[in-house]
Structure 1
Amino acid sequence: MAAANMEKRVIVVGTRQSALALTQTGQVIDELKRISEKHGFDYTFEIKKIVTKGDRILDVTLSKVGGKGLFVKEIEQALVDGVIDLAVHSMKDMPFELPEGLINGAIPKRVDPRDCLVMRDGSSLDDLPVGARIGTSSLRRSCQLKHARPDLKLESIRGNIDSRIRKLETEGFDAVVLAAAGLTRMGWQDQISASIPVDVCLPAVGQGALGIECRENDKQIRQLLAYYNDTETELTVRAERSFLGALNGGCQVPIGAYCVISDADQGNKVERQLVMTGMVGSPDGATMLKEVMQGTNPEQLGRDVAAALIARGADRILAEIGG
Structure 2
Amino acid sequence: MQPPIPIVIGTRGSQLATTQTGMVRNALQQHWGDAVEVSLEIITTQGDIDRQSLSQIGGQGIFARQIERSLLRGSIDLAVHSLKDLPTEMDDDLVLAAIPPREDVRDVLVTRDGGSLEELPEGARIGTGSARRQAQLANQRPDLHFVDIRGNVGTRLRKVYDGDADAVVLAAAGLRRLGLHDRISHYLDPLTVLPAPGQGALGLQMRADATEKQTYVAILDDQATHASVTVERAFLASLGGGCRSPIGAWARPEDEGLRVDGIVLRPDGTDPCRATRTGATEDASLLGTQLDFVGKRVDSHYKGDAAGFLDEIEFIAINYGSSDSRGAPDDPISHVSFYN
Q: TM-score, normalised by structure 2?
A: 0.85
Deviation at 1:312, TM superposition (A): 6.3
Select the residue among 227, 232, 239 that pairs with 1:240: 232
Deviation at 1:169, TM superposition (A): 2.8
One-letter code aligned to 1:45: V
Alignment match, 1:125: 117
Q: Distance in 1 between matches of 2:301 and 2:99?
A: 32
Q: Distance in 2 between matches of 1:300 and 1:214?
A: 22
- Is this contact kept in 2: 1:282–1:317, CA < 8 A? no
Alignment match, 2:335: none
Deviation at 1:170, TM superposition (A): 2.7
- Is this contact kept in 2: 1:108–1:228, CA < 8 A? yes
Alignment match, 2:30: 34
Select the residue among 40, 45, 51 that pairs with 1:47: 40
Deviation at 1:164, TM superposition (A): 0.4
Q: For residues 256-279 of structure 1, what are the alpha-carbon distances to aligned partners after superposition, in whole Å with 9 as ceiling and x for unaligned?
A: 110011113xxxxxxxx1110111
Select the residue among 133, 137, 149 that pairs with 2:129: 137
Select the residue among 3, 11, 17 that pairs with 2:13: 17
Alignment match, 1:57: 50
Superposed, 1:99-248 pairs within 5 Å as: 99-248=91-240
- Is this contact kept in 1: 2:71–2:206, CA < 8 A? yes
Q: Distance in 2 between matches of 1:160 and 1:80?
A: 27
1:98 matched to 2:98: no
One-letter code aligned to 1:260: R
Deviation at 1:199, TM superposition (A): 1.9
Q: Distance in 1 between matches of 2:304 and 2:208?
A: 33
Q: Distance in 2 between matches of 1:178 and 1:221?
A: 34
One-letter code aligned to 1:278: G
RMSD of aligned residue pairs (Cα, Å):
1.8
Deviation at 1:73, TM superposition (A): 0.3
- Is this contact kept in 1: 2:83–2:198, CA < 8 A? yes
Deviation at 1:61, TM superposition (A): 2.1
Q: For residues 121-152 of structure 1, what are the alpha-carbon distances to aligned partners after superposition, in whole Å with 9 as ceiling and x for unaligned?
A: 23311111110000000000000000000011
Deviation at 1:154, TM superposition (A): 1.2
1:320 matched to 2:293: no
Q: Distance in 1 between matches of 2:224 and 2:59?
A: 30
- Is this contact kept in 1: 2:246–2:306, CA < 8 A? no
One-letter code aligned to 2:14: S
Q: Distance in 1 between matches of 2:164 and 2:67?
A: 35
- Is this contact kept in 2: 1:36–1:42, CA < 8 A? yes
- Is this contact kept in 2: 1:135–1:155, CA < 8 A? yes
Select the residue among 68, 75, 80 that pairs with 1:76: 68
Q: Distance in 1 between matches of 2:80 and 2:16?
A: 11
Q: TM-score, normalised by structure 1?
A: 0.89
1:311 matched to 2:300: no
Deviation at 1:45, TM superposition (A): 1.0
Alignment match, 1:253: 245
Q: Distance in 2 between matches of 1:221 and 1:129?
A: 53
One-letter code aligned to 1:189: H
5+ residue gaps in structure 1?
A: 265-272
Q: Distance in 2 between matches of 1:119 and 1:229?
A: 35
- Is this contact kept in 2: 1:134–1:174, CA < 8 A? yes
The alignment of Structure 1 onto Structure 2 pairs a total of residues equal to 302
Q: Distance in 2 between matches of 1:22 and 1:246?
A: 31
Q: Distance in 1 between matches of 2:110 and 2:42?
A: 28
Alignment match, 2:254: 262
**Secondary structure of residue in 1 paired with 2:220:** coil
Q: Distance in 2 between matches of 1:8 and 1:299?
A: 33
Change (3 A) 1:108 1:203: same
- Is this contact kept in 1: 2:264–2:307, CA < 8 A? no
**Secondary structure of residue in 2 paired with 1:227:** helix
One-letter code aligned to 2:31: I
Change (3 A) 1:125 1:318: farther
Deviation at 1:171, TM superposition (A): 4.5
- Is this contact kept in 2: 1:133–1:174, CA < 8 A? yes
Q: Distance in 2 between matches of 1:225 and 1:12?
A: 12
**Secondary structure of residue in 1 paired with 2:55:** helix
One-letter code aligned to 1:34: Q
5+ residue gaps in structure 2?
A: 281-286, 309-340
